Structure 1
Amino acid sequence: MKQVKKSLLAVAACTALALSLSSCSGGSAKTAPKNAAGDSTVRLMVGGLDKQIYLPVMLAKNLGYFKAQGINAVISDEPAGVDAETDMLAGQQDAVVGFYDHNIDLQSKGKSTESVVQLLQAPGEVEMVRSDEASSITSPAAFKGKKLGVTGLGSSTNFLTEYLESRGGLKNSDATSVSVGAGSTFVAAIKNKQIDAGMTTEPTISVLQAQHLAKPMIDMRTVAGTKAALGGTYPASCLYMTTAYIQKNPQVVQKMVNAFVQTLHWIGTHSAAQITAKMPASYYAGVGKGVYTTALANEKAMFSPDGLMPSDGPSTVLKVLSAFDPTVKGHKVDLSKTFTNQYVQKAY
């Protein structure tokens, strides 16, 4: 009896593993269900919903663009993009708004996902150095022996941090990446000296500066700053899904892209103050509405004007990941399968 029970458990375990691998490879997907109003339900996860780099998600919802397209967007939040990615691959989410670089990393691991609309043309990330370390840590070459904050291990901030280390002539083992999340947890990590420096976004950057806790060392809030730091255009936040989901739900994908393209146009034709007015008050509670608005005005150019993938973007991201990521370095990656412009082109 015990032997039979063990065999059944083994079969169940193997079945679960097979289903997991199928899901991760993008081999299966379901048709998007509809709610009582007839809207297609899309479970959308964001790796830090209140970050300004992901602002288009809540803006699209508050402007009513999802609803107008017949989309019931069920939005949830994770502090790090890698966690959102994991949930989508496990079938718990239909789509992710996160950094494009995950699509390249995932393809090298045998998983098929694609960016369908590009929301940022620059990462919006800044490497902040703790104020008492600012005089000694003036470049990535000084990261040796230091603890560097990232939103999560395997996250895009982790990718970028490790690339900066390699550009500074260091090995990844020369510094320690520490998962500290974003917002208040990142600020606490700086304040309590758990990290010496770290990569974060607005409005956390402004909070750190207002409290004199940290100073910016590398600024990637603009295309020019990003090219200086990384050697090329680095497309960041995007809407991505498994290839299987896209193939199963092309009309739903088109409607999602339509909503985001409308949102990008709205951002491009409105002021930072007008955009801030559409955000929940909780988004700027920790820093103040004025500081939040100023921070947004300073980095507003990071948003894509049209949702299209920049022509030199994928190659730059591949170059960055190939410098340190063992799953990408030396592996053949078909960049044309990591994104598509077809839905954005049809949105006009």
Structure 2
Amino acid sequence: MRAILLEKPGPGFALRMGTLPVPEPAGGEVRIKVTAAGLNPVDYKFAEIGQEGWVLPHVLGLDIAGTIDAVGDGVAGWAQGQRVACFGNPWRRGGFAEFAIAPAQALAAIPDGLSFESAAALPTAGLTAYQIFHRKVAPRPGRTALIYGVTGGVGSFAVQLAKLAGYKVIGVAAAARSEIARHLGADHVVQPDDLQSLLRRLNEGRLADLVVDTVGASNATAALDLLAFNGALACVVDFPDFRRINWFERGVSIHEVALAAAYRAGGEAEISDLGLMLSELIALVDQGRVTPLIAEIVTFEQIPDALHRLRRRSVTPGKIVARLA
């Protein structure tokens, strides 16, 4: 089969089109003929640092959408020909290939009316946002959520899911992207300057009840000063400097979102929950209540260039999806 191969991880990683044997599903697994695959920052980050246990050359790609091609022993409820999507295991070869292996319990069915490209845009970014609002933070209708990077992959889903959860949403984005953020549902769009004053002005003197940080450690640290009493900080990229917190002063909580850890630190229940969450998210998309912000659809051969552009941030707002078949 054709695949985009990573011969050696490292800061100057290179990707090339090559061939590998078609993989065979083990017990509890299915083989997916990949139609579309989503590209994410985590792909190039893994390419830079590598992962213990990889068999080189490695195949990146965590967001997989396609058709079941073969079913392993002991798999119930799934059959050849079904349209499916999944969040793949980072320690196994992924979706930048004609065929990929996935655990059956992590699968979600794709409705006939939903494109493979839309489904492939969901797993990493969509589940990261979905986990915040449906697993990490209790719903607080009428409260305020401050979301960074609202026109990015995670942020664009977070805005929409926050609105569905009843939050008033204040999005942080560059002025040029304000219109996109408002179209996604943000009540207000602000630039990352003097946010504490802006929050109080837009929020009747209150700070944020929830902050979703998609930027990094220094930004997450600064966000601690934006939390109201009993506020929550959801960290997508890195943790804040905990020395900035005066414990037992404001009752804040910090939430780590680490989808991939389900495959290492979790068990069957946690891997099954990936499939359950993805099924629930797909249903919201199929109902028109959530829309993936797809910036660009590239070909199989264009994946290496697109991933390096994503790494350089030389991309337009939204997700990049590759059409493989």
Q: Shared fold by TM > 0.5?
A: no
TM-score (norm 1): 0.32
**Highest RCO, 1 vs 2 (Cα 8 Å, sep ≥ 6):** 1
Q: Which has the higher helix share?
A: 1
Q: Which has the higher strand share?
A: 2
